[in-house]
């Protein structure tokens, strides 16, 4: 993984927005502009992860850095998947609050300030999870998502009806303590609850994809979803309660 950047924001960012992108050349510029506008009153950085794109995504991101000094760009030489892209962005982030959203333009950054305000109001909240209304996906994809969320909710009991929504606001420290695996972004609410954090929910309006096609949804992904679900169920059952840790000090 490599990073390119030009300068840094004048203020240390409190907010880090992480966007995984694979072949999203038509969606990048308007999405970055929307994020910058939505968070104009907050010290923030935008971390775009170019996840092995084969179109002009890398070139467009490079050009945008001259306009948006808060934009940082990470590059994967080949696609490593959405969860790995988010994880690398979170590791590179400097803000205490981590925001994620998809790179296809369906998640509206205008919801971010309200979600951040929810988190600021309650220190026990580890995650504010977006939950999509008025889905714009195909009927088959909506049915697939509805069934998956119903089964997941019954097994994991995390109180979230739409864990697959890319709009998330998290405490970076809490996110980095979660066990990492190649589907973490779909199970973040359940694992936050597992670690003792509260999860708040925010209804968000889904938008049509700006351009292009979905790059992270496939039958191959669906085939392993059950194994992922069983693995998270096992992780929750095997979680041991935290106990106080005391560090010995020298005389």
| Tens of pLDDT, residues 206-228 | 898 877 666 655 445 555 677 78
Question: How many Cα atoms sit within 13 Å of 163 on the Cβ side?
Answer: 26
The average pLDDT across 62-69 equals 96
The average pLDDT across 163-191 equals 93
pLDDT over 60 (residue 187): yes
The average pLDDT across 76-94 equals 96
Q: What is the pLDDT of residue 7?
A: 43
C-alpha 160/C-alpha 96 separation (Å) is: 24
Element (H, E) at 149: helix 139-156
pLDDT over 70 (residue 248): no
| Tens of pLDDT, residues 103-114 | 999 999 999 999
Q: pLDDT-based confidence at 153, cuts 50/70/90? A: low
Domain locations in the chain as residue ranges: 2-237
Question: How many Cα atoms sit within 13 Å of 244 on the Cβ side?
Answer: 3
Measuring CA to CA, which residue among 182, 191, 223 is closest to residue 20? 182
| Least-confidence region, from 51-60, 139-148, 167-176, 206-215 | 139-148
Q: Is the CATH code 2.60.120.1600 the one for domain 2-237?
A: no
pTM above 0.85, yes or no: no
The average pLDDT across 12-32 equals 96
Q: What is the pLDDT of residue 219?
A: 46
Measuring CA to CA, which residue among 93, 86, 104 is closest to residue 24? 104
In whole angstroms, how large is the CA radius of gyration of the chain?
Answer: 18
Q: Do residues 151 and 229 lie in contact, with contact meaning Cβ atoms separated by under 8 Å?
A: yes
C-alpha 81/C-alpha 69 separation (Å) is: 26
For the chain, the helix, strand and coil percentages under 3-state DSSP, each to the nearest 5? 40, 20, 45
Q: What is the pLDDT of residue 6?
A: 45
Q: What is the pLDDT of residue 124?
A: 96
Average pLDDT of the chain is: 86
157: left (phi over 0), alpha (psi -120 to 50) or beta: left
């Amino acid at each position: 993984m490599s990073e390119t950047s030009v300068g840094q924001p004048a203020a240390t960012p409190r907010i880090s927005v992480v966007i995984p992108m694979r072949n999203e050349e038509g969606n990048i510029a308007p999405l970055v502009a929307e994020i910058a506008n939505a968070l104009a009153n907050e010290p923030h950085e935008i971390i775009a992860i170019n996840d092995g794109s084969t179109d002009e995504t890398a070139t467009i991101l490079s050009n945008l850095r001259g306009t948006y000094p808060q934009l940082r760009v990470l590059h994967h030489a080949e696609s490593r998947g959405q969860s790995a892209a988010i994880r690398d962005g979170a590791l590179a982030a400097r803000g205490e609050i981590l925001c994620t959203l998809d790179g296809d333009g369906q998640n509206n950054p205008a919801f971010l300030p309200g979600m951040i305000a929810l988190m600021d109001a309650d220190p026990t909240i580890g995650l504010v999870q977006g939950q999509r209304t008025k889905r714009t996906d195909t009927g088959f994809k909506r049915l697939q998502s509805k069934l998956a969320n119903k089964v997941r909710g019954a097994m994991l009991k995390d109180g979230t009806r739409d864990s697959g929504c890319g709009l998330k606001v998290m405490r970076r420290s809490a996110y980095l303590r979660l066990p990492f695996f190649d589907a973490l972004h779909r199970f973040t609410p359940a694992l936050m609850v597992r670690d003792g954090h509260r999860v708040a929910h925010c209804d968000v309006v889904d938008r049509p994809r700006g351009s292009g096609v979905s790059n992270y949804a496939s039958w191959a992904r669906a085939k392993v979803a059950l194994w992922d679900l069983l693995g998270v169920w096992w992780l929750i059952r095997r979680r041991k309660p935290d106990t106080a840790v005391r560090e010995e000090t020298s005389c």
